[in-house]
Amino acid sequence: MATIDDVAKAAGVSKSTVSNVFTKKRPISKGVSDKVLEVSKQLNYKPNYWARTLATKETRIIGLNMQAERIKFSQFHLSLVNGVLHECYGRGYQLLINTLSSDYKNDIQNQVSNPVDGEILMDPAVDDERIKKELSKERPCVVIGKPPKHLDQTLSYIDNDNVGIAYELTSHLLTLGHEKILFLNAAKHKTVALDRAQGFQTAFEDNGKRCPHELILNKTINNTSIEFGYDTAFRFLQERNRITAVIADTDKMALGVYQAASALNITIPKHLSVFAFSDDSVFESEFQPRLSSARLNAEQLGEGAARLLIEQIQENNKLVKRIVIPSEVCHRGSTSTKFLEG
Amino acid sequence: MATIDDVAKAAGVSKSTVSNVFTKKRPISKGVSDKVLEVSKQLNYKPNYWARTLATKETRIIGLNMQAERIKFSQFHLSLVNGVLHECYGRGYQLLINTLSSDYKNDIQNQVSNPVDGEILMDPAVDDERIKKELSKERPCVVIGKPPKHLDQTLSYIDNDNVGIAYELTSHLLTLGHEKILFLNAAKHKTVALDRAQGFQTAFEDNGKRCPHELILNKTINNTSIEFGYDTAFRFLQERNRITAVIADTDKMALGVYQAASALNITIPKHLSVFAFSDDSVFESEFQPRLSSARLNAEQLGEGAARLLIEQIQENNKLVKRIVIPSEVCHRGSTSTKFLEG
DNA sequence: TATTTTAATAAAACCGGTTTAAGATTGGTA
DNA sequence: TACCAATCTTAAACCGGTTTTATTAAAATA
C-alpha cells in the first residue's frame, strides 16, 4: 500500500499538506487539494488506520465483551448484538466483539491494551475482574446488567428490573395456587442472581408465605444450562411432595426442565408450570407447549448500552446514568393453575 | 496510561529490552525480565495495541462486512455471526463488524484503510464494488455466497448449493401437483438470485414443463422483504387462475406471503403452499402453520468462512478453496398437495 | 510605502511501539 | 593471555500517520 510519503512526493507537496487534505483540519487551496486527491486515487492511497489512531488516540470502535457457554451465543445475546450494531450504524462506529479466553489474554505475548474507544461489559459478577480492569484505565465503560453494589454510583449501566420481574412471575404462580416453586437461578457470582432471588423472596413474603430458600438453586459452572435445568428439575420432580412450578433463568434452562418433565411423564402445564426469563427463543419449536416467559428485550438493552457508551465517549460526559428497560410477561402455554389431585 | 519509556526508565533498562520481555522475540535474563514485569504491574503498563500494530502490521482482528435491511439483522445473519465468533475464539482472533453506510465511508475525513488482517464479505453482488476494493489491496478475503463468475477462480468462498436447493424445493412442489409457483427471489444484482433462478428453471424443464419466467420476481430495494412478500403475493393471489404455491427467498418474505394469504382469506397449506430459504426463524411464533423451509445452516457458513480466512492469513496460503455447506429441506406445515376444486 | 494580518504550505517533533545493527559482558578454548 | 563465540542489552532507525511550530507569500491596514 502507498503511504502518505509516496503521495506527498508524487504530488510535490509535504506530508502535512496531504494529511490536511484528508483530515480537513487546515484549509488547503483547491488546486493543491485536487492534485493530492488525484494522486491518491492513482496510487490507491488511504490513510493507515492504525497510524492515524496512534496519533489521534481515537479508533471509532467500541468493544463488546461477552462470554458464552461453550462459545455459542444464545438468542438473547445475538439480539443484543443486533441492537448494538443498529446504534453503531447511525453513529459511525464499528463493533469489536471480544470473546477471547482469559488463558489467551493472560499470555504475556498477548498482553495489550484494548483497541477500542470504550467497552460494553455484559453479565457482571459480584466481584468482577473485568470491571476492575476497565476502571483502572480511564476508558469509558457501560455495563449491561447491574454492577456490583459498591460501584453503583460509579458506572453507567442499563438493565431490566430483575427484582420486579422475578416478583411478578412468582406472584403470578402463587396466585395460580402454586407454592412449591423451584427457582433455577443464574450462577451465584452474577449480580443478576441476587436481584432475582430477592424478587422471588419478596413475592412470597408479600403473600404472607415463607420463602422456600431451599428451592432456590444457582447454576453451577460445570454444567451447561440445559444440563443444569434437566438434572435439577429431574431431582425435584421425583420427590414425594413434589414441586408444581419452575422459574428458569434462561430458555435453555427451561428446555432442560421440559426434557426432565417429559422423561418423568409429567405434563406441562397440567402438572407442572414453567416460566423463564428469556428473549424470543430460537428453539421455540422445541417447546411443546409454548414457553411462558418474561421478555427481556435484549435488542433494546443493546441499543441503549451502545448509545450510552458513545455519548460518554463523545461528550466526555462522566455523568453516571442508569437505564431500566421494561419487560413484559408473555403468558403462553406453559403455565396454569395448580392441578388438584383426586 | 504508562508507556514503554516510563517502564524502561523505572526499571533502568532500555526500550527494546522491555519490548523483548513482552514479545519474547529475544531472550532476556530472568532477573531483568522479572524486574520489568514487576515495574509494569506497578505502573499498570500494557503495550499499546495501535503502536504495536503499526510496527508489526498484524491486528489479529478479522472483519465481517454485512449489510442488513434497515440495519436489523435476521436470524440467518446472527447465526452466522455466532459461527464466526466460535471459530475466532479458538484461534485467538477478535471480530470487527462493519456496518457503516457507504455515505459515511465516502466522506473524505473517514477514508481510512481497514483495520483488519482479513475480511469476510457477505451477499456478493454480480458486480460487487466491495470485492473489487478488497482485491485491489492485497488483503486476504473470503466470500460467503458465490462470487461473480469471473472471480470464481480468484477468491475462496463458502456457499450453500443454491442451485440444488431451489431445484429440490421446486421439484417437490411439482410432485405435489403445483404448477403455478411464484418464486420470490433475492434482488437481481445478487449472485444468489441467479443460482436459485436456475435451479427453479431446471426443475421445471426436467419435469418436462415450461418454466414460468413471469413468476420469478426479484426483490426490489425500495421495499422491505416483508412488504415485497406481501405486495407481490397479494397481487398474484388475486388473479383468476391464481398461483397455488410460493417459494420465498427469506423467512421474512414468507411472513409477508402469510399475511397476504390471511388478508385474502386463503388458507395455508390447503389453498397455498409456502416454502422458504431460511435458517431457524426467530419469529417462528408468527407462522401459523409452521413454515416449511430449506435450512441453510448459517452457523456452519460462518464457522467455515472464518476458518478459511484465518488459514489464509496465517499460512499466507493463496490457494483458492471452495466449500459447499449442505442444507436440509424441513417439511413442516406450510406445504401440501395441490387442492383440487369442486 | 512600510507594517501588520491572514492564508497556505512546509519542516520537524511526536504518538508508542518493534526491529535492526551495534556494543558489552561472560565463559570457553587455543 | 589472547581470541572467539554466545548471551544479553542498547542506541538508533522505523512503522505511517497527526500536530505544533516555522516560513513564505499575498492581502489588508496605516
Which CATH number characterizes residue A12's domain?
1.10.260.40
Q: Which residues of A touch B99 (CB under 8 A)?
A: 85, 88-89, 94-95
Lowest mean pLDDT among A175-184, A190-199, B201-210, B309-318: B309-318
Q: Is the pLDDT of residue B342 over 70?
A: no
Q: How far is A233 from chain B (nearest CA, A)?
A: 26
Residue B304 grid cell: 467455515
- Classify residue B334: in a domain, yes or no: no
Range of the domain at A114: 61-161+298-326
CA-nearest of B152, B103, B100, B161 to B131 is: B152
B133-178 residue pLDDT tens: 877 777 899 999 999 988 888 899 999 999 999 999 999 999 999 9
Q: How far is B61 from chain A (nearest CA, A)?
A: 9
Are B257 and B140 contained in the same domain? no
Q: How far is the CA of A111 from the C1' of D18 (A)?
A: 26
Are B142 and B72 contained in the same domain? yes
Distance CA A16, CA A5 (A): 10
- The gap from C-alpha B93 to its chain's centroid, in whole angstroms, comes to 19
Which contiguous run of DSSP H or E holds residue A329?
Answer: strand A328-330
User: In the listed set B40, B56, B72, which residue is the last one of a domain according to the structure?
Assistant: B56
- Classify residue A332: in a domain, yes or no: no
Which residues are within 8 A (CB) of B59 and not within 5 positions of it... i.e. 6 or more apart?
A50, A115, B53, B115, B116, B117
Are B137 and B178 contained in the same domain? no
C-alpha separations of A226 from A223, A231, A256, A267 in Å: 8, 9, 4, 19
**Range A279-293 average pLDDT:** 79
**Range A224-239 average pLDDT:** 95
Quick one: pLDDT at residue A21?
Answer: 94
A307-331 residue pLDDT tens: 999 999 998 667 889 999 999 999 9
Are A136 and A201 contained in the same domain? no
- Classify residue B244: in a domain, yes or no: yes
Give B319-324 contacts, CB < 8 A, sequence gap 24+: B319/B156, B320/B153, B320/B154, B320/B155, B320/B156, B321/B156, B322/B156, B322/B157, B322/B158, B322/B159, B323/B157, B323/B158, B323/B159, B324/B158, B324/B159, B324/B160, B324/B161
Q: Which residues of A touch B97 (CB under 8 A)?
A: 85, 88, 94-97
Nucleotides of D under 7 A from a protein CB: 7-20
**Range A66-72 average pLDDT:** 78
- Which of the nucleotides lies closest to A26 (Cα–C1')? C8
- Classify residue A146: in a domain, yes or no: yes
Q: Which residue's alpha carbon is at the shortest distance from the C1' of D10?
A: B14
Three-state DSSP class for B61?
strand
CB pairs under 8 A between A and B: 152
- Which of the nucleotides lies closest to A55 (Cα–C1')? C15
Nearest CB neighbour to A115, from listed B22, B49, B137: B49
Q: Which amino acid is at B293?
A: S
Reported confidence tier of residue B46, pLDDT bands at 50, 70, 90: very high
A122-164 residue pLDDT tens: 999 998 888 888 777 778 999 999 999 888 888 999 999 999 9
**CATH (domain of B192):** 3.40.50.2300
Distance CA A213, CA A328 (A): 26
A245-254 residue pLDDT tens: 999 999 999 9
Helices (H), A277-328: 298-315
Place of cell 519509556: B5
- Classify residue B333: in a domain, yes or no: no
For B152, half-sphere exposure in the C-beta direction (CA atoms, 13 angstrom radius) is 6
Q: Which residues of B touch A99 (CB under 8 A)?
A: 85, 88-89, 94-95
- Whether the CB-CB separation of A128 and A150 falls below 8 Å is answered with no
Whether chain B has a CB inside 8 Å of the CB on A109: the answer is yes
Quick one: pLDDT at residue A283?
Answer: 65
What percent of chain B lies above the pLDDT cut of 70? 97
Chain B interface test: which of A89, A101, A119 (most B C-beta within 10 Å): A89
Which contiguous run of DSSP H or E holds residue B194?
Answer: helix B191-206
**Range A38-45 average pLDDT:** 94
Are B209 and B289 contained in the same domain? yes
Quick one: pLDDT at residue A221?
Answer: 87
Mean pLDDT for chain A overall: 92
Reported confidence tier of residue B255, pLDDT bands at 50, 70, 90: very high
Phi, psi of A61 (to 5 degrees): -130, 135
Quick one: pLDDT at residue B119?
Answer: 95
Are A69 and A137 contained in the same domain? yes
- Classify residue A338: in a domain, yes or no: no
C-alpha separations of B133 from A46, A229, B130 in Å: 12, 49, 5
B111-124 residue pLDDT tens: 898 899 999 999 99
What percent of chain A lies above the pLDDT cut of 70? 97
- Which of the nucleotides lies closest to A35 (Cα–C1')? C9
Are B208 and B149 contained in the same domain? no
Residue B308 grid cell: 478459511
Quick one: pLDDT at residue B39?
Answer: 94
Quick one: pLDDT at residue A137?
Answer: 73
**Range A48-75 average pLDDT:** 90
Residues 122-151 (B) with a CB less than 8 A from some CB of A: 136-137
Are A236 and A304 contained in the same domain? no
Are B145 and B237 contained in the same domain? no
* Helix%, strand%, coil% for chain A, nearest 5: 45, 15, 35
State how many domains chain A has. Answer: 3
Whether chain B has a CB inside 8 Å of the CB on A71: the answer is yes
Lowest mean pLDDT among A201-205, B36-40, B108-112, B273-277: B108-112
Lowest mean pLDDT among A32-46, A284-298, B206-220: A284-298
Reported confidence tier of residue B78, pLDDT bands at 50, 70, 90: confident
Phi, psi of A274 (to 5 degrees): -130, 130
For B169, half-sphere exposure in the C-beta direction (CA atoms, 13 angstrom radius) is 38
Q: How far is B71 from chain A (nearest CA, A)?
A: 6
Distance CA B184, CA B229 (A): 7
- Whether the CB-CB separation of B330 and B251 falls below 8 Å is answered with no
Are A239 and A308 contained in the same domain? no
C-alpha separations of A231 from A200, A228, A267 in Å: 22, 5, 17
- Classify residue B337: in a domain, yes or no: no
- Whether the CB-CB separation of A96 and A61 falls below 8 Å is answered with yes
Mean pLDDT for chain B overall: 92
Are B310 and B265 contained in the same domain? no
Contact (CB<8Å) B100/A94: yes
Are A38 and A114 contained in the same domain? no
Q: Is the pLDDT of residue A342 over 50?
A: no
A56 touches strand D (CB under 7 A): yes
- Classify residue B280: in a domain, yes or no: yes
Q: How far is B225 from chain A (nearest CA, A)?
A: 18
Contact (CB<8Å) A89/B112: no
